[in-house]
A = this chain, B = another copy of it.
């Protein structure tokens, strides 16, 4: 536990045990530093953390005082739910992602795994096989819901997890993003409230922006995920039309919900009859014995389970799907109005590839390599980053969430790094709030070469420079 964290825990405990009451002023930074023997910076970091979690409030010149507690709701702090009526983030995300196109960049901000991990030769063979298969009859098949064999293979992969999903409820889409976006559209109207995590995948924010939806952000812990009490509070206080969540290796924070929590989540949403749009694109990249199940495994009803092959196989094919239950037809109709369907030869080539045993072999290798590279990269980050930087590492996937002292602005860090040909994914991408302006996401899927180590050192000195100026 970092020093500031122990101070945070200590003060929380004091508030809960009644040492501090609502309105009480906390000791000044200087006084607290003297009392605790910690640096001024560490105390500031702790106070800011308490503030961001809603335990204290600050007013300029008058210091930090204890925030009013929530009534009825047990431990969820007041800022656990935040609402926003108009999202405007796409321009920023566009600029950040465009920067990753440059092959000369050291792309810590890249969204996909290192492309050199794709099974290119085997994919090539499947493309060739699909080319041979391209017949008149499957040429006619360019309408939703997509290729029959591919949908049937996907259904069989669900069956292997013990999930009973009919091919009839599966719609093939242009990556998971189209699946998520059509799913959300099928159950909402502009102006509706939608629940999302905070921090959340930026695609959720973009889709809310595009569809004119209002967001309820539920505070989400980098280890434990969403607080279900806060979720229920949001369901009680707002007419919520959908909930968009990642249950496995959440992007950007990295946590995987436990089976118990998934079950509780599903029960809660069913009680309030709110559809769940489940983004589950990383679950094949687990690390450990068992593939984590999606929430949909704990109750089919009203859950649209969205996934793709973009993270586990190859990014550029743009093939995803949704297991949409009773929304399957509505989603097909929405798809017909926009993209019609995805490329037929690519669907065929995936069907070919997946019907061989290559995919399981590939996944085993991919998991091992991603795990190894993450370990190496994290070690390097720990070695070079300032000691009051918090590196949140979770099992599986290839993202690491880095939390800097509150006074560091990762948007500035992003621009400074860009000038040095390094990209990061700044916290601003993952929320419409300012609460992650001191965080960023790092892609650990690339080999830790010398240039990458140098880039980590460079990031570190850019961070240090900000800390020195603060």
**Chain A interface residues toward B at CB < 8 A:** 90-91, 93-94, 97-98, 100-101, 103, 107, 110, 112, 115-116, 118, 120, 123-125, 127-128, 130-132, 134, 136-143, 174-175, 177-178, 181, 190, 206-207, 209-210, 212, 314-319, 332-334, 336-346, 349
Contact of A338 with B336 at beta-carbon distance under 8 Å, contacts A101-B141, A120-B134, A128-B131 already known: no
Which residues of chain B are near A344, meaning CB under 8 Å?
315-318
CA of A110 to CA of B103 in the docked complex: distance in angstroms?
43
CA of A98 to CA of B341 in the docked complex: distance in angstroms?
12
Which residues of chain B are near A343, meaning CB under 8 Å?
316-319, 342-343, 346
Assess whether B340 is in contact with A174, with CB atoms less than 8 Å apart. Answer: yes
Contact of A338 with B181 at beta-carbon distance under 8 Å, contacts A315-B142, A316-B139, A343-B343 already known: yes
Which residues of chain B are near A124, meaning CB under 8 Å?
131-132, 134
Which residues of chain B are near A137, meaning CB under 8 Å?
103
Which residues of chain B are near A177, meaning CB under 8 Å?
338-340
CA of A336 to CA of B209 in the docked complex: distance in angstroms?
12
Out of B131, B190, B332, B337, name the residue touching A206 (CB < 8 Å): B337
17 interchain pairs, CB-CB under 8 A = A94-B332, A94-B333, A98-B143, A101-B141, A118-B139, A128-B131, A142-B316, A175-B339, A177-B339, A177-B340, A178-B338, A210-B334, A315-B344, A316-B343, A317-B345, A318-B344, A343-B346
Out of B107, B118, B143, name the residue touching A101 (CB < 8 Å): B143
* Extra 12 A-B pairs, beta carbons < 8 Å, given A124-B134, A316-B344: A90-B336, A120-B134, A124-B132, A174-B174, A177-B339, A181-B337, A190-B212, A207-B337, A317-B344, A318-B339, A318-B341, A343-B346
Which of A100, A140, A334 has the most chain B CB atoms closer than 10 A to its own CB?
A140
Q: How far is the CB of A239 from chain B (nearest CB, A)?
A: 21
Closest to A207 in B: B337
Closest 3 CB pairs of A and B: A316-B344, A115-B139, A124-B131
CA of A190 to CA of B191 in the docked complex: distance in angstroms?
13
Assess whether A100 is in contact with B140, with CB atoms less than 8 Å apart. Answer: yes
CA of A143 to CA of B96 in the docked complex: distance in angstroms?
11
Out of B127, B143, B318, B342, name the residue touching A130 (CB < 8 Å): B127
Which residues of chain B are near A141, meaning CB under 8 Å?
101, 316
Which residues of chain B are near A190, meaning CB under 8 Å?
190, 212
Q: How far is the CB of A314 from chain B (nearest CB, A)?
A: 7
CA of A134 to CA of B128 in the docked complex: distance in angstroms?
13
Assess whether B123 is in contact with A136, with CB atoms less than 8 Å apart. Answer: no
Q: How far is the CB of A88 from chain B (nearest CB, A)?
A: 12
Closest to A339 in B: B174
Which residues of chain B are near A142, meaning CB under 8 Å?
112, 315-316, 318
Assess whether B316 is in contact with A345, with CB atoms less than 8 Å apart. Answer: yes
Out of B103, B139, B341, name the residue touching A314 (CB < 8 Å): B139
CA of A136 to CA of B120 in the docked complex: distance in angstroms?
9
Assess whether B91 is in contact with A333, with CB atoms less than 8 Å apart. Answer: yes
Contact of A345 with B127 at beta-carbon distance under 8 Å, contacts A339-B339, A340-B174 already known: yes
Which of A94, A177, A349 has the most chain B CB atoms closer than 10 A to its own CB?
A94
Out of B115, B338, B349, name the residue touching A140 (CB < 8 Å): B115
Out of B97, B101, B136, B338, name the residue touching A210 (CB < 8 Å): B338
Closest to A114 in B: B136
Which residues of chain B are near A98, meaning CB under 8 Å?
143
Which residues of chain B are near A175, meaning CB under 8 Å?
339-340
Assess whether B115 is in contact with A336, with CB atoms less than 8 Å apart. Answer: no
Q: How far is the CB of A443 from chain B (nearest CB, A)?
A: 12
Which residues of chain B are near A334, meaning CB under 8 Å?
210
CA of A349 to CA of B98 in the docked complex: distance in angstroms?
23
Q: How far is the CB of A405 from chain B (nearest CB, A)?
A: 32
